[in-house]
Structure 1
């Protein structure tokens, strides 16, 4: 009697990884039909599945935030990553995504320290979008290749320490004046010499300055590359900021201001002479 046929195996007698050997279109078809959390967990099954991922969008329910598994942080080929409503807690050995070009985080749970590490350990990062509803502490950003930074949410203090190529900046709508901390307005913009497009939403002055009186007439270092400037004027301090930045931008081309009713009434009930 013939013995049963042995299962084919790869090197060192291990079973063949049939999942890894599937065509990419088949793998993509399988992943698209799986529930979201199951699709993430498939990274445990095949190393090749997670190493080939370059664009990844994971959006979970806000009522049941999913904790990313340790295997997620081995996706070494990631270039574009979007995460929403999940818990990000990398393993101690995690050293960032070497190939990451854009990062979009919306309502994620992550400490300020881990967020700083995730950004600084992604050396090719060019686009960063942060939409954080929970109040964060200090956030220091070191990203030498960063070109675009869009922040929305609550934060006490933002330090753009090493962003020499940053050309597009959008700063936030604060929710709590009492919790914000102030920075030196002039020093803040000294580090943004490559800035081309600036958008300041309602409440940006809450962590940029301590009051309208501390806004200088002009910045000590002009914004020679600033072309587009958008600002929401909700209080008189915003108006002082706008004047300072406009005076400090000799080559500005487009200016857009959204004015609240209170500021509008003040401006048109007073005689204002602006010396450019």
Structure 2
């Protein structure tokens, strides 16, 4: 009879190298990682030594709604980390709606700068008064991602830029136009920039040779994108503050969009369309050869300005594959626009690469129908058109067939809200 081998319990997990344990623990929600402290005395403070901390609503008691009390709960976590952490902290994200004490938050950011922070994300801060970022943060050359909410950004005179910063998101941030220009221009590897609700309204000048993705939703007096040659994805909801006539450039469409030679995806909102529509030429001088996706939101088909911008973009984007339009609800019918679009139809231009078209929120006006017919008659490789009508019956196929469709394989889906 073979003697049975005696087995002993071995805690293999606890003896793993710290970099392996860190990888395991940071993949868990912070609340779950903290619960490992009950496993044994050896695990009591392991979670406080993590290289990444994401504090969100899941870390707080569900019954706790007071923003000040929520911050106090967050400070309990922070204090435990400050007392026990001995390594580096590469990422910190605060995404729990709270009212932080500015002194506490400043001290914590100072601590993070000493820990070699690379990604700092502050979201959903319910500040009555904006929090001024500590000067020490601007010396963190290892920062690769910076997302700020409800802050005052005022770098010290010694600031020379973030050499590693690839992503910058500013929301409800107070920053001057000069500071914003310097900040963006002094990040040599910046690829993603998001500007939402910037204060005060100012002149926006983007000077970033590596920038690829830009999103703007804010008020500005003017915009200049002429030194961002690699911009590929642009989403602009720019509310321009009216200026004196002598302050407006000759053609905003040419001045802003005309310099984006490599743009691949473009999303424009109604307010910015009105700005671009100032003095639109018959033909946009620049070809948008790389533009494959165009989305226009809240376009007004009764507006000659909006439609001129639309046709200027369509006419200079020979490789456009996807067109998405949401319509600003209106009952207005504009006969001059119908005549204008008929003139465009007679020009003989075709959208030879257009495959997908989505039009949402139409009322079924003559102007809207003329545009739909125009697309169907001039898109030989169109595969799918989706039309969503705001009210009433959906558009019938017999109505859509009043023109000859250029594509023999297009599928038209007509719906109603």
TM-based fold match above 0.5: yes
Decide whether the 8 Å contact of 2:174 with 2:200 is kept in 1.
no
Q: 1:39 to 1:266 in 2, by over 3 A?
A: same
- Alignment partner of 1:116: what SS? helix
Q: Does 1:187 align with 2:255?
A: yes
- 2:293–2:320 CA contact under 8 A, matched in 1: yes
For residue 102 of structure 1, the aligned residue among 156, 167, 185 is: 167
- Residue 265 of structure 1 is matched in structure 2 by 333
Deviations 1:45-87 (A, max 9, x none): 57531xx211111133241211111112122211111001111
Mean Cα displacement is larger for which, 180-189 or 234-243?
A: 180-189
- Answer yes or no: is the 8 Å Cα contact 1:228–1:252 preserved in 2: yes
1:26 aligns with 2:49: yes
Alignment partners' CA distance in 1, 2:337 and 2:205: 41
Residue 142 (str. 1) matches residue 207 (str. 2): yes
Structure-to-structure mapping, 1:66-105, within 5 angstroms: 66-105=131-170
Bigger CA radius of gyration = 2
From 94, 117, 131, the counterpart of 2:182? 117
- Secondary structure class of the residue paired with 1:265: coil
Relative distance call for 1:263 and 1:133 in structure 2 (3 A) is farther
Identify which of 237, 252, 256 aligns with 1:172.
237
Between the two proteins, the alignment pairs up a number of residues equal to 250
Mark the CA change 1:177 to 1:206 in structure 2 (over 3 Å): closer, same or farther. Answer: farther
Q: 1:247 to 1:71 in 2, by over 3 A?
A: same
2:212·2:233 contact (CA, 8 Å) conserved in 1?
A: yes
5+ residue gaps, structure 2, are: 1-44, 56-76, 79-99, 350-417
Aligned residue for 1:230, secondary structure, equals: strand
**Partner residue of 2:118 out of 44, 48, 54:** 54
Query: Structure 1: any 5+ residue segments left out of the alignment?
Result: 1-21
Work out the CA distance in 2 between the residues paired with 1:227 and 1:129: 22
Query: How far apart are residue 137 of structure 1 and its match?
Result: 2.0
Give the corresponding residue for 2:306.
238
Normalised to the residue count of structure 1, the TM-score between the two structures is 0.80
Tell me, in whole angstroms, the C-alpha distance in 2 between the residues paired with 1:164 and 1:29.
Answer: 34
- Shift in CA distance, 225/269, structure 1 to aligned 2, threshold 3 Å: closer
The answer to which of 249-258 and 71-80 deviates more is 71-80
3-state SS of paired residue (1:261):
coil
TM score, norm. by length of structure 2: 0.54
Greater helix content: 2
Contact 1:227 1:252 in 2 (8 A): yes
User: What RMSD in Å do the two structures reach over aligned CA positions?
Assistant: 2.9
